[in-house]
Amino acid sequence: MTLLTELTRRPLDPSYADAAARRAVEGDRRGAVSHGLAVLLAALLGVGVAAAALALRTPTAGDRQARALLEHQVLEKRDVVDALEASNARTASEVTALQESALRSSDPQLLDRTRPWAVASALAPVVGAGLRIVLTDAAGTADNPDDLDLRVQDVDLQVLVNGLWAAGAEAVAVNGQRVGPTTAIRSAGSAVLVDLVPLVGPYTVEVIGDAPELQTRLARSTAGQHMAMLHATYGIGVQTSSVAKMELPGSGSLVLREATVPDEALAAAGLADAPAAAGVRQSGADKEGDGS
């Protein structure tokens, strides 16, 4: 009975249990060692990857020399461009002065009649009182650089400039670029082209005219409603201020390829039957008058 009771109470030999316990202890030790080795290997790999990335990012002596050379070339070419622009402006002023001198000696009355046209066509600089309107991108532009609704676009400047002309503006300039009857306002990437000159924000629109009248008419027009919508809906900044005196530059001389005398002018001069050339065209295919 004692043997049967022992077999029932302990069916397995005690040596089996001891062997299982030893295997469990050894397995735990091996698992801990394997886990430690894995962690160490991962740390070594991380250090190696970080060192490789740092080595790739650190510019070499050749890279620094190439960068310095490019920066020098950019600054040098920029100085050349600035000198050429200044020379071009001086030459344009000389040509305008010579034209006025020749016209004054041959027909002074015609010169007096055409001077107001120089202001309307944006050829001559203008000094006077008016408005200054500054358009700035919305505050969230940095967090959403691809959201064009938060940026001032070319169409916004077109609407504003056209609204100012309709409100009675005498002269308009955007970031110092004079806007005339043939000026085009277009976009090129993140920049806005005004007469093919790239501009970046903030965009300062200066207009010569009666400031209170301009502001009142602009607010009542669709252009004023568009500016209010830009500010209220997209957070674009629209700041308007009156200026006692501002000077807007001229846009330079126009090169005419063909010219036609209007029939009304011919009739007024008593030359209704005189032949006329066909068409008026200014050089430059991109000047479409979007900002007039």
Q: Region 165-179: what's the mean pLDDT?
A: 91
CA separation for the pair 102, 175 (Å, rounded):
33
For residue range 21-68, list pLDDT tens digits in order: 666 666 555 666 677 778 888 888 888 888 777 777 777 777 778 888
| Amino acid 270: pLDDT | 60
> Alpha-carbon distance 168 to 105, whole Å?
34
End-to-end Cα separation, the chain, in angstroms: 119
Length of the chain: 292
Task: Give the span between the Cα atoms of 150 and 137, in whole angstroms.
Answer: 6
- What is the phi/psi pair of residue 261, to 5°? -85, 125
Using alpha carbons, select from 237, 228, 178, 183 the residue that is nearest to residue 208.
Answer: 178
Confidence of residue 115 (pLDDT cuts 50, 70, 90): confident
The tens digit of pLDDT for each residue in 244-275 reads 999 988 876 666 667 677 777 666 656 554 34
pLDDT at 173: 93
Contact 248, 123 (CB under 8 A): no
Q: Give the integer Cα–Cα distance in Å for 70 and 156.
A: 36
What's the order of all strands across the beta sheet hosting 197-199? 185-188, 191-194, 197-199
- Min mean pLDDT across 82-86, 116-120, 160-164, 266-270 is at 266-270
Most confident of 57-71, 136-150, 192-206, 260-274: 192-206
Instruction: Please give the single-letter amino acid code of residue 133.
Output: I
At residue 1, the pLDDT reads 55
Q: Between these two residues, 282 and 291, which has the higher pLDDT value?
A: 291
For residue 240, pLDDT beyond 80: yes
- Angstrom distance (rounded) from CA 101 to CA 107: 10
Question: What global pTM score does this model have?
Answer: 0.58
pLDDT, tens digit, 9 for 90 and up, residues 94-110: 877 787 788 778 877 87
**Listed range (100-104, 114-118, 212-216, 270-274) with the worst mean pLDDT:** 270-274
